[in-house]
Structures are given as C-alpha cells and as structure tokens.
C-alpha cells in the first residue's frame, strides 16, 4: 500500500480499470506538487493552470481519452489525456460569488450527457437543480429541479434512460432523462 502525505482530494478510474487518478493539492508555499510518496512520481501530471480550487469529483470517458473534473471553482473541465490540456470548460447555473459548488458528476452510459450535482449558492434559493449537459455542444439541455437543499450525488441507470439524484434534503429522486419528468 502506498501512503501519501496529504489526503486525496478526488479520484477516478480509467476505462477498463487500467489507471487510477488521484488529485492532490499544489503547495503554493513550497512551489511544488504536494505528492511525495517515497521515490515515486506521478505517471501523468497535468499542470496547466486548470482548476483554481478543490477538485471534488472526476471521471474518465469510456474510451479513456478524456478526463472530466468538477471543482469548487464552479467549473467542469474536460481534459485531453494525450495532449495534457483542457479542451472544454463547462459553467452552469451557479452564483459567481462565494457560494455555489459542484459536488458530483456522472456520465451517461453512451457518453453523450454529463449530469452535475451541487448547489447554486444563490441566497434564498430553495431549488437546487441537477444540470444535464450535452458534451458535444457544452450546453445545458435540461435542469432537473426538485431538491430543496444542495444535491450531493447523481448517477445514471445502466441504460441511460433514468437519472437518480440524492440531496441534503434527505430525498432521492429518479428522473426520466428524455423529458425531465420526476418519477419518484
């Protein structure tokens, strides 16, 4: 077992389980990556001035060519693994002030849609929609509104027809992806 000096901020498995991505923090005072396992270095290090805050979730596309990361900087970044750079930045219905976070992302089985869960950060908002992005265009194609508190988790059904979300309001909701209808 490899021990790391700092906690792991996020993780993600590559297609076929060949790689595990561990996201750690850059130490601004020391000017180095806060990754110091004895005599070990990251296999792939992407240091492109990307996210500016904690990365809460990440996942790979099915083909393993892209890494998708979600951060407290209110962005979702899509990275080209081979080129080691951001190829797309998604922003959503999130306040640009201090509030608002993306807690979890999920990729549809066919790779067409990305769902993002979190909270808007807008004062007085008691609706916290799950955002559904079309990955080809980067546009939000649907907002699933039903939670009264921030949404912590989101996942697609195996066939991609349904989306489940769970929030801090102690509710779990199942949605039909095709029309956004709340089923439970």
Is 71 within 8 Å of 54 (Cβ atoms)? yes
Instruction: Quote the pLDDT of residue 137.
Output: 94
Instruction: Quote the pLDDT of residue 116.
Output: 95
Domain ranges of the chain: 10-176
2-16, 40-54, 97-111, 135-149: the lowest-pLDDT one: 2-16
Please determine, for residue 159, whether its predicted confidence score (pLDDT) is greater than 90. Answer: yes
Is 97 within 8 Å of 71 (Cβ atoms)? no
Please determine, for residue 18, whether its predicted confidence score (pLDDT) is greater than 50. Answer: no
Please determine, for residue 106, whether its predicted confidence score (pLDDT) is greater than 90. Answer: yes
Instruction: Write down the residue that tokens 């601004």 correspond to.
Output: 28
CA distance 181 to 184: 9
pLDDT interval class at 160 (50, 70, 90): very high
Please determine, for residue 8, whether its predicted confidence score (pLDDT) is greater than 80. Answer: no
Fold of 10-176: Methylamine Dehydrogenase; Chain H (2.130.10)
SS3 helix, strand, coil % of the chain, rounded to 5? 0, 40, 55
> How large a percentage of the chain has pLDDT more than 90?
38
Summarize the confidence of residues 82-108 as an average pLDDT: 80
CA distance 110 to 100: 28
């Amino acid at each position: 077992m490899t021990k790391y000096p700092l906690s792991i901020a996020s993780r993600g498995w590559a297609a076929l389980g060949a790689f595990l991505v561990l996201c750690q923090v850059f130490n601004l005072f020391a000017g180095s990556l806060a990754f110091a396992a004895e005599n070990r270095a990251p296999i792939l290090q992407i240091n492109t001035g990307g996210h500016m805050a904690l990365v809460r979730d990440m996942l790979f596309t099915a083909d393993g060519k892209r890494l998708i990361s979600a951060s407290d900087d209110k962005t979702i970044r899509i990275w080209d693994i081979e080129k080691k750079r951001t190829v797309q930045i998604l922003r959503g219905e999130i306040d640009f002030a201090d509030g608002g976070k993306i807690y979890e992302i999920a990729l549809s089985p066919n790779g067409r849609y990305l769902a993002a869960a979190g909270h808007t950060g807008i004062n007085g908002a008691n609706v916290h929609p799950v955002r559904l992005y079309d990955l080809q265009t980067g546009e939000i194609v649907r907002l699933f509104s039903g939670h009264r508190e921030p949404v912590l988790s989101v996942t697609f059904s195996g066939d991609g027809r349904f989306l489940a979300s769970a929030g801090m309001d102690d509710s779990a909701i199942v949605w039909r992806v095709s029309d956004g209808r709340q089923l439970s």
